[in-house]
Amino acid sequence: MTIKRRDFITASASLAGMAGLSSLGIRPSLAQTEPTYTPEEGASLRLLRWTPFVKGDEDAWLANTKKFTEATGVEVRVDKESWEDIRPKAAVAANVGTGPDMVMCWFDDAQQYPDKLVDMTELADYLGGKYGGWYDGLRGYATRDDKFIAMPLTTIGNAVCYRDSHMKAAGFSEFPKDTAGFLELCKALKAKGTPAGFPHGKAVGDGNNYAHWLLWSHGGMMVDENSKVTINSPETIAAINYAKSLYETFIPGTESWLDINNNRAFLAGQVSLTANGVSLYYAAKNDPALAEIAADIRTTNFPIGPVGKSVELHQTSSILLFSHTQYPEAAKAYIKFMMEADQMNAWLEGSSAYCCQPLKAFADNPVWTSDPVHAPYARASETLRPNGYAGPLGYASAGVMADYVLVDMFASAVTGQVSPEEAAADAEKRASRYYRI
């Protein structure tokens, strides 16, 4: 079945004059020529996505996918895998040349195999021109040599989640704004029997977010602007020592936590403070048995460390389109449809602030002001610092992230397996295998 340009625009409700745009105050530019993608005869697609932590995210995505199928006749099979399994399964599909047509990948995964991906620059330029431009961090993850090797999709904001009553019971009237005060709060929470807990295990999202904040807040970085490995530095040692002090206040077992474990511990009342997406709040809010916890949850951005400014990593996801797909035109038509205003706005609202917009025009979506708990997540796409900082993204940054070099450095030191100096030296050796300069 084919789809005509005017029919596809109607189906996706993407014209600037439509109510879905004007009601949000979006005035997209129409300067970029709109590309037309005609699905191949008999086309069908398979998308691999991450398991949702907010049910509304998946529901909205599937509803939009159904609309696409109704408009085009192209069936789209949506499979899902755990967060930790997405990266290896995507890598296998890229290297073997079979499997899903598209994958919602993590961070700079696309940089590991750019030659296995379809160039989506034409579509990305159209979307960026129409919807106020891409956020720099998300754009950086999805581009190589100024070409879009993936389609930026979303930032999953990360923020500190805590029990307000427990913080006050520990003697704090407001949440500390700096790392020194944060450590004192964690000590006080432990003394009250309501400890904190942050993942030191190989958690794709929460583990990486926490480790990068620890490093960056103290002025450390994996590499400099010239991609020279600089992780073995006094700033890194200071970050590790701070992490060791925090770890002493945690609930036991965080060295093996994956992305689901801090959620479970918080909702079970085992910890009173962690970092997570807004999914933690909605898991409590949607369970009558957890109403007391839901009412007590507050959120805030991570405290500022010795570096003197807010520096955070947020989970990011892009859509990969593999060159082994039999139906590239159908896949591009699907991605275009899902990124247009009606579908993107519906997905953002369905996600309840879990997913942050990749395009600036959608920053005015009412989801960001519908609940005070959403506030720390609202600017995630704007404020994120890419994991390859301070060097460029590429094969090396993607490899270091996928190999959990930074996460392992902190975990080995806080658990006492090695000294801080040994941990930093080991991270330097491991990172240097990827950064060969």
pLDDT tens-digit map of 43-58: 999 999 999 999 999 9
Beta strands 315-321 and 102-106 are antiparallel
Q: For 99-106, what is the mean pLDDT?
A: 98
Contact of 244 with 414, CB cutoff 8 Å: yes
Contact of 339 with 346, CB cutoff 8 Å: no
- Joined tokens for residue 141: 């993850």
Estimate the crossing angle of helix 420-434 against helix 234-247, to 10 degrees: 120
Q: State residue 329 phi and psi, 5-degree precision.
A: -70, -40
Q: What is the fold, at CATH topology level, of the domain defined by 159-311+403-434?
A: D-Maltodextrin-Binding Protein; domain 2 (3.40.190)
Q: What pLDDT sits at residue 31?
A: 52
Where are the chain's structural domains?
A: 5-157+314-383, 159-311+403-434
Distance between CA atoms of residues 106 and 91, nearest Å: 11
Contact of 24 with 354, CB cutoff 8 Å: no
- Joined tokens for residue 79: 């499979």
Indicate if 159-311+403-434 has the same CATH topology as 5-157+314-383.
Answer: yes
- Joined tokens for residue 380: 């995630």
Which of 198, 194, 200 has its CA nearest to residue 270? 194
For the four alpha carbons of 10, 12, 13 and 16, in that order, the dihedral sign comes to negative
Which of 171, 196, 107, 158 has its CA nearest to residue 280? 158
For the chain, percent of residues with pLDDT exceeding 90: 92
Q: Which of 13-17, 272-276, 417-421 has the lowest mean pLDDT?
A: 13-17
Q: What pLDDT sits at residue 437?
A: 62
Question: Domain 5-157+314-383 belongs to what architecture?
Answer: 3-Layer(aba) Sandwich (3.40)
Each residue's pLDDT tens digit, 108-167: 999 999 999 999 999 999 999 999 999 999 999 999 999 999 999 999 999 999 999 999
Q: What pLDDT sits at residue 5?
A: 37
In the chain the first and final C-alpha atoms are separated, in Å, by 51
Q: What pLDDT sits at residue 192?
A: 98
The secondary structure of 106-172 as a DSSP string is: ETTGGGG-GGGB---HHHHHHHHHHTT-B-HHHHHHHEETTEESSEEEEEE--EEEEEHHHHHHTT-
Which of 165, 171, 167, 141 has its CA nearest to residue 153? 141
Please report, for the chain, how many H helices and E strands are present, in that order.
Answer: 19, 11
Neighbours of 205 (CB within 10 A): 26
Q: What pLDDT sits at residue 288?
A: 97
Distance between CA atoms of residues 311 and 301, nearest Å: 10
For residue 397, the one-letter residue type is S
Above 60 in pLDDT, residue 354? yes
Contact of 79 with 48, CB cutoff 8 Å: yes
For residue 335, the one-letter residue type is I
Above 60 in pLDDT, residue 311? yes
